[in-house]
Amino acid sequence: MKKTLKSEIITITLSMLLILFVVFALFAFLYYKDTELLMLNFTSKNIMTYANNINKEVIKIEKNAYDLALMGELYYKFDRNKSIAEKTIVQVFDNYPESLGGGVWFKPYVVDRSKRLLCMYAYRNKHGNVVFDPKFESEEYNYPDKSWYKEIFPFINKKDNIEWSRPYYEKEGSDTVMITAGAGMYDNEGNLVGLSTVDWEVNSVIKTISAIKPSKNSFSLFANPSKDYVIVTNDPYLKDKALVGASLKNIPWYNDNLINVRYMTYQNKEFIPYVKILDNEMILIVCVPKNEFLAKMFHSITIFCILLTFLALFLAYIVYSGLRKNIMYPIGKLIYIANKISKGDNDIEIKIENPVEFEKLASTFDKMTRDIKNITKEKERINSELNIAKSIQISSLPSVFPPFPDRQEFDIYASMDTAKEVGGDFYDFYFMDENHIMFIIADVSGKGVPAALFMMTAKTLINNISQIVKDPSDIIEQINNKICASNKNGFFITLFAGIVDLRTGKMSCINCGHNPPLILTNDGKYKYMDLDQNVALGVFENMNFKIVDINLNPGDIILTYTDGVTEALNENDDMYGEDRLKDCLNKNKDITNIKDIINTIKNDVKQFSGSVSQSDDMTMLIFKYYGSENPNHKYCKVLANKDNYKVFYEFIHNFCNEWKISEDISNKMDMCAEEIYANTEFYAYKNVHEGYIELYVTKEDNKIILEFRNNGVEYNPLKRSDPDITLPPEKRSLGGLGIYMIKQMSDEISYQYIDGINILKLTFVNNS
Amino acid sequence: MDIELKREGISSLYVKTSGRLDLDNSVEYGTKIKETVEDSEDIKILILDFKDIIFISSFGLKIILELHKQMMERGSMRLINVSEQILKSFKMVGFDKFLVIE
């Protein structure tokens, strides 16, 4: 497969992309483990942020408890003014919006021996206002009996001065589930006199914990420091079990070593547990399903890949469009221009400005085009001159056949098919006197313009001499001497000439080194003529030439030709040869029309040559002798004027009678002849006074051929469009009717304009 | 060329001739008839006898068309005794479609 620049560029770009992908894939593979770690850290940090937030809240609550404890101690040690203390509590609460409620509780009888219970407890009511409620001091409430009191008070000491209760439901006050943090209050001697409490709403903890969702199915657990109370869990597999408040031991997946484990198996799935112990030793555990974790990881890798792909494609597009603009486009332009130039369009300005290399190339191209333009012009000039030379050469040969329609004793036809180059073939024929016709065929050695020029000289020379000199051997000797005298370039001419006495059929044949002619005599076969060979003309001066006289009988045919026929080559470099020529003629010896004979030979040679083009001129001249009178030819020539038409139609009626042509056809010929006669009178000679019209009639088997000639202005009647014969009479015009009738009546019709002669040929088939 | 022109009744003209209606004769034939018709306005019917006409060329046909056009304006034209040969010529150019031929 052929490569194009476009495909190459695309291939390079694509392979670049491929390499990029392979490198990336390798990179991704190599750094997969690291990426995993990175993700673990990332997730861990993410979870820690949540944990820290919770931790902060815890610390704040604890701080709140300390503050309240301090406030309680001040109350106990100094003024024991309850209203001031309550105000201070409200102020403390204002600083801790996380706290649901809180206060100070004194040991029974420690403040006042007569009053067992003493506390100051405030909470946020449903409207968000901080309120005190005296019922907490009542005997019914009896706070030392409350679970939170029992859970905190006994465990506080100076060293470990803060304790957390388990979650509990408080119907009084806040009416919600809460956890309470408590701090101890001491007298000057360091004895524990009471505790402060701050309530933390569990619902808000649940909300915070539930919000920790690093992936869809991850879940968390929050437990108290002694691990015997699960505060919150949103483990989806334990949803139905009332595990809140249970010990961590009841959690199926939990063990104390969890903090050191990277993966744990639970419900046939792998999870990554993140464990965080808060400052108050509460435990926060977040479990992330491994597959989701990896999916997340892959998700980010995929996004990265897609981004990279787009980036790579974008880069590839930039590279491709850059190459396209800077290389392919200028090259395409140059190719387009080169194509145009090769088709002959040289008037193109080439403009490419970028890149510089192409600008240079374009300007070189431009210069080349201009050079080609000049060379082409020169070549065209030479070519046209050569063509003119060729046409002058060809037009110097007689080309109207039959050339002497008034002479019925013979028929002559010749044709020359020229090769590309001008050559030196020629033929000629003319009457030497009323009864002697001379025909020649000749070939000047060599090719090209010199040969053609020499041929013209020789042809004129031969014509001139044969008009003056009558004896055949004298003619040829003089021609030879003249040619020798004017031949400085060493040309020579092979020639065959025949001089026929039309009265007797005696023919003088002269062959000067030319191909032997073929003759068809009444024995019905073409034969090569056995003639004495003379030296070609222009070789030696003062030569004697041998003339051979033969007798022609009516019907005899002589075919002469040049070596262009016999030396035509085929694809195997075989020559057509004399045998093939003879065989071809004998196979077609029934053809009587001499023009058809020549065409048959031409076709045979063409078929033989196949695709090989003609390398030499192919010239043939054929002569047929009919005897002193030819019963199949009629000729009539009249001045085309108003009065002479009678002569014309009488001529037609005469040969119709003689040849027993049916009245129908004779009428048709009459009508056609009249129309053509009138046309000749009206059109052909409209600019001159009058001229001749010739009618040359040939009978060939059942065909009658009428050939009308005049040498008036060129007029092709067949070009007239046909009238519409379906029109009603009032719309009918008179023009074109006659030509239309001719076309209808004749079986064949053709028009030619050769050498200033209008030739209209009508063929009628006589079926009777 | 002998051209026989005969008035038959008040409104018709009978024309008979012999030989060829061709380049040589048709103009004379046509001119003579046209002049006669133009001279006497009461001629409404033109009868052309083709009995002795042996040949008609395209020129003859043109004359017949001209005469037909002329007579259409005032009356009618009839061709009588038309031979097969002549009829062929009329048919070739489609004149048989509008000429009254007997």
Mean pLDDT by 10 residues, chain B (102 residues): 84 89 86 88 89 88 88 89 88 86 84
In tens, the pLDDT along A670-687 reads 888 888 888 887 777 776
Answer with the residue of higher pLDDT: A465 or A347. A465
Closest residue, chain B, to A743 (C-alpha):
B92
Q: How many angstroms away from the CA of A509 is the closest CA of chain B?
A: 50
pLDDT at A522 over 90: no
d(CA B57, CA A575): 56
Residue A764 binned pLDDT confidence (cut-offs 50, 70, 90) = very high
Task: Give how far the C-alpha of residue B79 lies from the chain's centroid of Cα atoms, to the nearest Å.
Answer: 7
| For range A115-120, the mean pLDDT | 87
Question: Is residue A675 less than 8 Å (CB to CB) from chain B?
Answer: yes
d(CA A487, CA A484): 5
Q: Do B59 and A738 touch (CB under 8 A)?
A: yes
d(CA A438, CA A434): 11
d(CA A40, CA A51): 16
Q: Can you tell me which residue has the tokens 């009254």?
A: B100
Enumerate the residues of chain A whose CB falls inside 8 A of the CB of residue B62.
Answer: 734, 737
d(CA A601, CA A630): 25
Closest residue, chain B, to A665 (C-alpha):
B85
* Parallel/antiparallel/unpaired status of strands B100-101 and B76-80: parallel
| Beta strands across the sheet bearing A283-289 | A230-233, A219-223, A283-289, A269-277, A264-266
Domains and CATH numbers, chain A: 5-44+298-335 (no CATH), 54-201 (3.30.450.20), 206-292 (3.30.450.20), 344-391 (no CATH), 404-625 (3.60.40.10), 633-765 (3.30.565.10)
Closest residue, chain A, to B22 (C-alpha):
A674
Query: Which CATH superfamily groups domain B3-101?
Result: STAS domain (3.30.750.24)
pLDDT at A645 over 80: yes
Q: What is the pLDDT of residue A343?
A: 78
* Range in A26-35, A186-195, B10-19, B67-76 with the lowest mean pLDDT: A26-35
* Parallel/antiparallel/unpaired status of strands A557-561 and A618-625: antiparallel
In tens, the pLDDT along A343-371 reads 777 676 767 776 777 778 878 878 887 88
Q: What is the pLDDT of residue A498?
A: 94
Enumerate the residues of chain A whose CB falls inside 8 A of the CB of residue B58.
Answer: 671, 674-675, 737-738, 741
Measured at the CA of A132, the angle between CA A130 and CA A135, to 5 degrees, comes to 145
Point out which residues pair with A416 in neighbouring strands.
A619
Residue A264 binned pLDDT confidence (cut-offs 50, 70, 90) = confident
Residue A109: Cβ within 10 Å count? 12
- Chain B contact probe: residue of A725, A739, A744 with most B CBs at under 10 A: A725
Query: DSSP strand E in A117-164: where?
Result: 118-124, 130-132, 162-164
Q: What is the pLDDT of residue A33?
A: 66
Closest residue, chain B, to A672 (C-alpha):
B57
pLDDT at A242 over 60: no
Residues 607-646 of A with CB under 8 A from B: 642, 645-646
Query: DSSP strand E in A626-739: where?
Result: 633-639, 692-700, 703-710
Residue A494 binned pLDDT confidence (cut-offs 50, 70, 90) = very high
Residue A720 is encoded by which pair of tokens?
């007239």
Q: Where are the domains positioned within chain B?
A: 3-101
Query: DSSP strand E in A467-553: where?
Result: 493-501, 506-512, 518-520, 526-528, 548-551
d(CA A598, CA A589): 12
d(CA A568, CA A606): 9
Q: Do A744 and B92 touch (CB under 8 A)?
A: yes
pLDDT at A267 over 60: yes
Enumerate the residues of chain A whose CB falls inside 8 A of the CB of residue B55.
Answer: 667, 670-671
Q: Do B62 and A674 touch (CB under 8 A)?
A: no
Q: Do A734 and B65 touch (CB under 8 A)?
A: yes
CB contact burial A478-491 (16+ within 10 A = b; e otherwise)? bbbbbbbeebeeeb
Instruction: Tell me the ipTM for this assembly.
Output: 0.84
| For range A120-148, the mean pLDDT | 84
Q: What is the pLDDT of residue A189?
A: 86
Q: What is the pLDDT of residue A32?
A: 67
Q: Do B22 and A728 touch (CB under 8 A)?
A: no
| For range A429-435, the mean pLDDT | 88
Q: What is the pLDDT of residue A432?
A: 87
Q: Residue A40: in which H helix or E strand, if any?
A: helix A32-77
**Dihedrals phi, psi of A186, to nearest 5 degrees:** -125, 150
Measured at the CA of A328, the angle between CA A324 and CA A334, to 5 degrees, comes to 145
| For range A159-177, the mean pLDDT | 79
Q: Do A667 and B85 touch (CB under 8 A)?
A: yes
Q: Residue A623: in which H helix or E strand, if any?
A: strand A618-625
Nearest residue, CB atoms, A671 vs list B57, B69, B97: B57
Question: Is residue A238 less than 8 Å (CB to CB) from chain B?
Answer: no
Q: What is the pLDDT of residue A241?
A: 56
- Please count the residue pairs, one from chain A and one from chain B, whose beta carbons lie less than 8 angstroms apart: 63
Q: Do B66 and A734 touch (CB under 8 A)?
A: yes
Burial class, A592, CB count within 10 angstroms (exposed 0-12 / middle 13-18 / buried 19+): middle
Amino acid sitting at position A640: A
Nearest residue, CB atoms, B57 vs list A674, A725, A728: A674
Q: What is the pLDDT of residue A1?
A: 59
Enumerate the residues of chain B whose CB falls inside 8 A of the CB of residue A642.
Answer: 23-24
- φ/ψ region of A328 (left if φ > 0, alpha if ψ in -120 to 50, else beta) reads alpha
Residue A155 binned pLDDT confidence (cut-offs 50, 70, 90) = confident
- Are A52 and A284 in contact by the 8 Å Cβ rule? The answer is no
Q: Do A726 and B94 touch (CB under 8 A)?
A: yes
Question: Is residue A737 less than 8 Å (CB to CB) from chain B?
Answer: yes
- Are A260 and A272 in contact by the 8 Å Cβ rule? The answer is no
Q: In A265-348, which ranges are continuous DSSP H helix?
A: 290-323, 329-342
In tens, the pLDDT along A39-75 reads 778 888 888 888 888 888 888 888 888 888 888 888 8
**Dihedrals phi, psi of A728, to nearest 5 degrees:** -70, 160
Q: How many angstroms away from the CA of A642 is the closest CA of chain B?
A: 7
Q: Do B62 and A729 touch (CB under 8 A)?
A: no
- Are A534 and A511 in contact by the 8 Å Cβ rule? The answer is yes
Q: Do A737 and B72 touch (CB under 8 A)?
A: no
- Are A425 and A617 in contact by the 8 Å Cβ rule? The answer is yes
Q: Do B93 and A741 touch (CB under 8 A)?
A: yes
Specify the 3-state DSSP secondary structure of A628. Answer: coil
From the list A688, A693, A690, A685, the residue with the least C-alpha distance to A710 is A693
Q: What is the pLDDT of residue A602?
A: 94
In tens, the pLDDT along A572-612 reads 989 999 999 999 999 998 888 899 999 999 999 999 998 88
d(CA A152, CA A194): 11
- Are A442 and A564 in contact by the 8 Å Cβ rule? The answer is no
